[in-house]
Amino acid sequence: ETGVTQTPRHLVMGMTNKKSLKCEQHLGHNAMYWYKQSAKKPLELMFVYSLEERVENNSVPSRFSPECPNSSHLFLHLHTLQPEDSALYLCASSQGLGHYGYTFGSGTRLTVV
Amino acid sequence: KNEVEQSPQNLTAQEGEFITINCSYSVGISALHWLQQHPGGGIVSLFMLSSGKKKHGRLIATINIQEKHSSLHITASHPRDSAVYICAVLNAGGTSYGKLTFGQGTILTVHP
């Protein structure tokens, strides 16, 4: 256990479903991130939250909607996804933006059918 | 051309061998991370470097800022070291939002 917990670990959803991914950290970090890892591609940054404010949206389609209600929790709300959105979604946190204690969760393996 | 290039992409070794994975980058950075990803997806941060060399157990990471190059070495490799090793750079300058740019990863397989 790294200190960053993601649930669920696996998710299968239809294209018309609405689901949410959850990320939780109790490391005292103040920045949280969503990353996407597609097959045979490098990790891609999706969203960055610093002090609960979104500071970057890396050209992510609106069918992905992040939410950061407090510094310990980060959600990724999913709706009307496409099969090409199937991937491993990783959450990470750090103290400050990217420098200290960068810690990843174990990821959610998402399959869109 | 990717901003972060790793070599080799695939590496197979026998247990006990000394292993080197290389990372070259083309942008100015403030730090470089080496990450380890096991099957199943979880990623563990091994090192964060901004200069010089760091050692943790059998793992050694070095960085040469002038040459924009970093290496990860594994001494006395073991089958449990089998994983994907990922180099990621933290872009420098401007409004750096903690954005990491990742290499494509090196798949390491260590046979007993």
Q: What is the pLDDT along chain B (112 residues), one digit of tens a residue?
A: 678 999 999 999 999 999 999 999 998 888 899 999 988 778 888 998 989 999 999 999 999 999 999 999 999 999 999 999 999 998 776 555 567 889 999 999 999 9
Give the whole-angstrom CA distance, residue B68 versus residue A32. 27
Quick one: tokens of A31? Answer: 């920045």
Q: Which is it for strands B52-56 and A10-13: parallel, antiparallel or unpaired?
A: unpaired
What whole-number distance in Å separates Cα of residue A93 and Cα of residue A81? Answer: 25
Chain A residues within an 8 Å CB radius of B86:
42-43
pLDDT score, position B7: 96
B49 contacts chain A (CB < 8 A): no
More confident residue, B95 or A53: A53
Residue in chain B lying closest to A58 (CA): B99
The C-alpha angle A105, A111, A113, rounded to 5 degrees, equals 165
pLDDT for the residue numbered A99: 62
Q: For a pLDDT cut of 70, what percent of chain A falls above it?
A: 95
Question: In this complex, which of A92, A97, A104 lies closest to B97 when CB atoms are compared?
Answer: A97
DSSP structural state of residue B64: E
Q: Distance between CA B93 and CA B85 in Å, rounded?
A: 26
Q: Which of A45, A96, A109 has its CB closest to that of B41?
A: A109
Verify whether the Cβ–Cβ distance B45 to A104 is below 8 Å. yes
Six-digit token pair at A32?
């949280």
Distance from CA of B28 to the nearest CA of A (A): 15
User: A23 is written with which tokens?
Assistant: 């990320």
In this prediction, residue B41 carries a pLDDT of 73
Which of A89, A93, A104, A108 is the best substitution to test chain B (most B C-beta atoms within 10 A)? A104
Phi, psi of B38, rounded to the nearest 5 degrees: -90, 160
